[in-house]
């Protein structure tokens, strides 16, 4: 019962299709059956009525004439018989015979409440004339007709209903079996259809026949399965897309560049982590703002308005904007960022938003500014460097041309700077340069420029001069300001400068030439005796030119094999026996002839050419010593001069070791002569290099002892073997008592430090006696031999008895 109620309930609200179908079939077939049955019953009813009518016709045609005759003949019996005959006809229940004039005969009975139909016939006699005999009214009872009709109604309705019902059941079953249950399967499939079971296809429980394969159910099934597959594909694609999107969004989020995404109205929609780190602003705070209006700095807003307007225009016109902007962090700090702004376009190519990539380039900018500074300024002194100075000079010349004024160009070089640098060390040299820069600057007006050209060279530009004498005044001021001593390494040092002056337009109208002329004048000032200034004169160009020429010739001299080593014997003072030789460099230039080292070594040191030249000397000297051994069978040591610049070269120790390795000379036979100045450069590096050389067995000697600071205390700290007394003392030992006592003291002091002593510049025999008397270990000088080219030295070895 409950089940039935449920079904009915479902039927009423959303019953299964078969039930609805049943209802509709029943309803329609019932209505149809009713109508058709009604038509049929009505037609039967009409037929029954017409049968009664036909009976009436039979009465009229068959009885009225015989009744009329019986009446005419007044044959009552026959009349009676005839009437009974009519009354016996089916459905005729009552006869009323009216006889003219006023008698009446009634037969039969009309049932109470019965529906009847009556027909009246006239009874006439046709003689000569027509006589009316009376009239017969026949009444027929319609109850049979109605009862027939009722019976038929019941029968027809019953049979029709049953037929309709069973046909409906059959149709429903067919529908249910062939369609509805599959629809239910589909409905269940669709109901259970979810992203988790996309792999299960829809399958209907029916035979796989050709017919089934092409029907609508099959088509729907195929369509559903195709839809499932498409959905499956779409989901896979969606998942792939989602993964890609996740990947890209992660990449954007974790990008090392800051990323802003704006909508079409340039309102920020998204900012990545890097942006927040860079600017200090959170995504939530800046969303909806214009990228140029993120900071709260009013000045930044003003600056940005114009900039972002041009960015917008360029992005619209060109499709990209790239540039560097100065932005403000949340904490107010300014920083440089490199921006790339591009539109984000949809498939139609319309901009749907904008992408702004930013990179913090503050460090790069700082480097750039530093580089710019380095490119234009001297790091040590903070003065403009050569490049900026030349720019300023050009500007000054252009201005002077317009104003018809003069420009003074002064070239300054510190006197003996190299010596101070070598003896007191680089730090002292640097301090000297800084102080010199300060002193020069203090002598100048604001419009003038003082620049450091490099090393100890300074340039002063005096623009807008009315006469050349102003340059002399400035030069004198500068020389005067150099007069007080400089305090370097705790020592008072007097440093002077030499100044060369050229004037625009008197000496030249070209900046380069003016500089060259000032340089030439500076050399002239140096020759004057230093701490002097000189104005350029045309004849000075030659001297300056010679210096330049020598530099360029020296650069090619090694290649052209123009260098040559001369060798000077070093002998035991006591016996005059040869023990070693000093290698002395000569430059044999085809144009200049034999150039002595005093002339080119300082230039080689200045230009750095001393390093390759010194390397060649070392190699050549070691090889020579080996050749002597081969020719004489005796070990003859070799002394090689090493300049401070050469010594400071990072590869110096390697260079020495390579020369020994390449020649095969034992290290003990090589002596490096290092000037006293180098020892005063009391650095860890110097000590380390000397220690390395000493440990490898190489002998070390202090050259030119007595000319420098004679810092005896330093000698103890370094592993020297020999001390060379400078020839300036030796040469006067016989004339100057002071020099003699000094030489004696040096010999004693050196011996007390465990050093052996070489006296150089021994030219006379008396000097040898003095030195022998004072216990000087070795002697070197013209008395024994002048420096000789190798072939002559070899000859000397053979001819000199004391050598062997
Ligand atoms: N860095 C290098 N310096 C070198 C090298 N070769 C030489 N020099 C240095 O050049 C300076 C001048 O050298 P030079 O003109 O060769 O003079 C040497 C001798 O000729 C000279 N001498 C020797 N005996 C006498 C003498 O009796 N009287 C006299 N008037 N002069 C004499 O002395 C110079 C040797 O000096 P020193 O080196 O101090 O022993 C000179 O300073 C050389 O150091 C080189 O390859 N590299």
Q: What CATH number is attached to the domain comprising 330?
A: 3.30.450.20
- Is 493 contained in some domain? yes
ipTM of the complex: 0.94
Does one domain contain both 523 and 572? no
Q: Are residues 579 and 721 in the same domain?
A: yes
pLDDT digits (tens, 9 = 90+) for 302-335: 778 888 999 999 998 889 999 999 888 989 888 9
Nearest CA residue ID for atom 4, ligand 1: 641
**Ligand 1 neighbour 182 (Cβ under 6 A):** no
Flag whether pLDDT at 714 surpasses 70: no
CA of 704, closest atom in ligand 1: 39
Question: Structure tokens of 782?
Answer: 């013209």
Map residue 658 onto helix, strand or coil. helix
- In this predicted structure, the answer to whether residue 234 has a pLDDT above a threshold of 70 is yes
pLDDT over threshold 80, residue 6:
no
Q: CATH number of the domain at 407, please.
A: 3.30.70.270
Which two tokens mark 434? 């800084």
681 or 468, which is more confident? 468
Indicate whether residue 601 lines ligand 1 (CB < 6 A): yes
Residue whose Cα lies nearest atom 39 of ligand 1: it is: 704
Same domain as 393, residue 286? no
The CATH number covering residue 94 comes to: 3.30.450
- The residue among 541, 500, 646 whose CA lies nearest residue 585 is 646
Residue 225 lies in a domain: no
596 Cβ closer than 6 Å to some ligand 1 atom: yes
Going by DSSP bridges, is the β-strand pair 457-465/406-414 parallel, antiparallel, or unpaired?
antiparallel
Residues 512 and 579 in one domain: no
Number of domains in the chain: 4
Task: Confirm or reject: Cβ of 727 under 6 Å from ligand 1.
Answer: yes
pLDDT at 432 over 60: yes
The dihedral sign for the CA sequence 691, 692, 693, 696: positive
The pLDDT of residue 610 is 93
How far is it, in rounded angstroms, from Cα 568 to Cα 790? Answer: 10
pLDDT tens for 670-694 read 999 998 767 665 566 778 899 999 9
Q: Which helix (H) or strand (E) holds 454?
A: strand 449-454
Cα of 704 to ligand 1 centre, how many Å?
Answer: 10
Q: What mean pLDDT do residues 47-72 have?
A: 87
Residue 213 lies inside a defined structural domain of this protein: no
CA of residue 561 to ligand 1 center, whole Å: 21
Q: Is the pLDDT of residue 226 over 80?
A: yes
Six-digit token pair at 463?
A: 């623009």
752 CA distance to ligand 1 centroid (A)? 27
For range 249-259, the mean pLDDT: 90
Instruction: Classify residue 209: in a domain, yes or no.
Output: no
Sort strands 497-504 and 533-535 into parallel, antiparallel or unpaired. Answer: parallel
* Domain-embedded: residue 217: no
Distance from Cα 583 to the centre of ligand 1, integer Å: 9
Q: Do residue 385 and residue 346 come from a single domain? A: no
Q: Which of 688, 652, 656, 653 is nearest to 669 (CA)?
A: 656
**Tokens 């059959």 belong to which residue?**
170
Answer yes or no: is the C-beta of 562 below 6 A from any ligand 1 atom. no
Q: Is the pLDDT of residue 792 over 80?
A: yes
pLDDT value at residue 804: 39
Residues 673 and 793 reside in one and the same domain: yes
Mean pLDDT estimate for the chain? 88
Gap from CA of 622 to ligand 1 centroid (Å):
18
In a domain, 248, yes or no: no
Same-domain check for residues 411 and 341: no
Instruction: Return the bridge partners of 408, or none.
Output: 462, 503
Kindly give the distance from the C-alpha atom of residue 594 to the centroid of ligand 1, in angstroms, as a whole number: 15
Query: Which amino acid residue places its CA nearest to atom 10 of ligand 1?
Result: 597
pLDDT beyond 70 at 62: yes
Confidence of residue 18 (pLDDT cuts 50, 70, 90): low
Is residue 238, in this structure, part of any structural domain at all?
no
Q: Are residues 411 and 493 in the same domain?
A: yes
Co-location of 137 and 94 in the same domain? yes
Question: pLDDT class for 803, splitting at 50, 70, 90?
Answer: very low
Answer whether 704 contacts ligand 1 (Cβ < 6 A): yes
CA distance 70 to 134: 12
State which of 328, 344, 367 marks the end of a domain.
367
**Over residues 49-54, mean pLDDT:** 88
Distance CA 661, CA 155 (A): 141
Q: Which residue, 153, 179, 202, sits at the end of a domain?
A: 153
* C-beta 761 within 6 A of ligand 1: yes
User: Do 350 and 395 fall into the same domain?
Assistant: no
Structural domain boundaries, residue 682 = 560-803
pLDDT at 707: 65
Would residue 424 count as lying in a domain? yes
Listed range (109-113, 340-344, 345-349, 797-801) with the worst mean pLDDT: 797-801
Q: How far apart are CA 438 and CA 794, in angstroms?
A: 56
The residue out of 138, 153, 168 marking a domain boundary is 153
| Same domain for 605 and 517 | no
Which residues partner with 580 through β-bridges?
A: 570, 637
pLDDT digits (tens, 9 = 90+) for 558-569: 999 999 999 999
Residue 115: band (very low, low, confident or very high) from pLDDT cuts 50, 70, 90: confident
Tell whether pTM > 0.80.
no
Is the beta carbon of 760 within 6 A of some atom in ligand 1?
A: yes
Closest residue by Cα to atom 33, ligand 1, is 761
Residue to mutate (ligand 1; options 557, 568, 641, 723; most atoms within 8 A of CB): 641
Q: For residue 60, is pLDDT > 90?
A: no
- Residue 696: CATH number of its domain: 3.20.20.450
Q: Which pLDDT belongs to residue 379? A: 87
Residues 634 and 782 in one domain: yes
d(CA 523, CA 29): 136
Q: What is the pLDDT of residue 708?
A: 56
């Amino acid at each position: 019962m409950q089940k039935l109620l449920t079904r009915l309930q479902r039927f009423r609200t959303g019953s299964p299709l078969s039930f609805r179908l049943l209802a509709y079939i029943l309803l329609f077939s019932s209505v149809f059956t009713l109508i058709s049955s009604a038509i049929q019953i009505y037609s039967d009813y009409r037929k029954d009525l017409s049968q009664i009518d036909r009976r009436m016709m039979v009465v009229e045609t068959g009885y009225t004439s015989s009744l009329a005759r019986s009446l005419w003949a007044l044959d009552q019996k026959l009349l009676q018989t005839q009437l009974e005959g009519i009354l016996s006809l089916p459905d005729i229940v009552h006869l009323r015979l009216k006889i003219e004039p006023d008698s009446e005969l009634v037969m039969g009975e009309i049932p109470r409440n019965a529906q009847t139909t009556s027909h009246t016939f006239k009874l006439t006699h046709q003689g000569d004339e027509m006589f009316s005999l009376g009239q017969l009214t026949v009444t027929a009872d319609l109850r049979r007709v109605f009862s027939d009709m009722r019976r038929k109604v019941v029968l027809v309705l019953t049979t029709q209903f049953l037929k309709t019902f069973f046909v409906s059941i059959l149709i429903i079953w067919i529908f249910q079996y062939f369609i509805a249950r599959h629809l239910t399967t589909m409905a269940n499939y669709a109901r259970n259809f979810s992203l988790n079971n996309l792999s299960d296809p829809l399958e209907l429980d029916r035979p796989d026949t050709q017919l089934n394969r092409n029907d609508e159910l099959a088509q729907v099934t195929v369509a559903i399965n195709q839809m499932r597959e498409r959905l499956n594909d779409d989901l896979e694609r969606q998942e792939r897309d989602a993964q890609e999107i996740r990947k890209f969004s992660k990449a954007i989020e974790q990008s090392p560049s800051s990323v802003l995404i704006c909508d079409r109205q340039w309102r920020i929609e998204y900012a990545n982590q890097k942006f927040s780190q860079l600017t200090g602003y959170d995504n939530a705070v800046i969303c909806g703002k214009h990228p140029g209006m993120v900071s709260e700095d009013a000045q930044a807003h003003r600056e940005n308005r114009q900039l972002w307007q041009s960015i917008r225009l360029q992005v619209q016109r060109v499709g990209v904007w790239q540039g560097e902007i100065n932005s403000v962090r949340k904490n107010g700090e300014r920083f440089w960022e490199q921006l790339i702004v591009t539109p984000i376009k949809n498939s139609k190519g319309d901009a749907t938003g904008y992408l702004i990539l930013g990179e913090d380039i503050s460090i790069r900018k700082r480097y750039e500014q530093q580089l710019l500074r380095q490119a234009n300024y001297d790091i040590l002194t903070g003065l403009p460097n050569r490049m900026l100075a030349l720019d300023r000079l050009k500007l000054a010349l252009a201005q002077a041309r317009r104003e018809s004024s003069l420009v003074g160009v002064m070239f300054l070089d510190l006197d003996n700077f190299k010596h101070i640098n070598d003896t007191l060390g680089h730090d002292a040299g640097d301090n000297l340069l800084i102080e010199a820069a300060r002193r020069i600057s203090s002598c100048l007006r604001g419009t003038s420029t003082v620049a450091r050209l490099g090393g100890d060279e300074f340039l002063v530009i005096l623009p807008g001069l009315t006469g050349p004498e102003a340059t002399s005044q400035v030069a004198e001021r500068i020389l005067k300001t150099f007069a007080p001593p400089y305090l370097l390494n705790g020592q008072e040092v007097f440093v002077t400068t030499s100044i060369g002056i050229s004037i625009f337009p008197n000496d030249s109208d070209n900046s380069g030439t003016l500089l060259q002329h000032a340089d030439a004048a500076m050399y002239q000032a140096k020759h004057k005796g230093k701490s002097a200034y000189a104005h350029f004169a045309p004849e000075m160009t030659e001297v300056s030119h010679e210096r330049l020429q020598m530099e360029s010739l020296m650069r090619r001299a090694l290649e052209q094999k123009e260098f040559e080593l001369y060798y000077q014997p070093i002998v035991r003072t006591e016996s005059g026996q040869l023990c070693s030789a000093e290698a002395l460099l000569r430059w044999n230039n085809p144009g200049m002839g034999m150039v002595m080292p005093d002339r080119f070594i300082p230039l080689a040191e200045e230009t750095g050419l001393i390093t390759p030249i010194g390397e060649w000397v070392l190699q050549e000297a070691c090889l020579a010593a080996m050749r002597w051994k081969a020719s004489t069978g005796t070990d003859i040591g070799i002394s090689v001069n090493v300049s401070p610049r050469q010594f400071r070269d990072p590869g110096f120790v390697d260079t020495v070791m390579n020369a020994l390795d390449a020649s095969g000379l034992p290290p003990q036979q090589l002596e490096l002569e290092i000037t006293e100045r180098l020892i005063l450069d009391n650095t860890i590096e110097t000590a380390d290099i000397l220690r390395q050389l000493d440990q490898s067995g190489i002998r070390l000697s202090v050259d030119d002892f007595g000319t420098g600071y004679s810092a005896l205390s330093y000698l103890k700290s370094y592993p020297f073997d020999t001390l060379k007394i400078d020839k300036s003392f030796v040469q006067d030992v016989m004339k100057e008592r002071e020099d003699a006592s000094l030489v004696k003291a040096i010999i004693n002091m050196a011996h007390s430090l465990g050093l052996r002593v070489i006296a150089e510049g021994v030219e006379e025999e008396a000097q040898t006696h003095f030195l022998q008397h004072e216990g000087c270990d070795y002697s070197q000088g013209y008395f024994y031999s002048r420096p000789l080219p190798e072939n002559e030295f070899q000859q000397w070895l053979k001819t000199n008895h004391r050598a062997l």
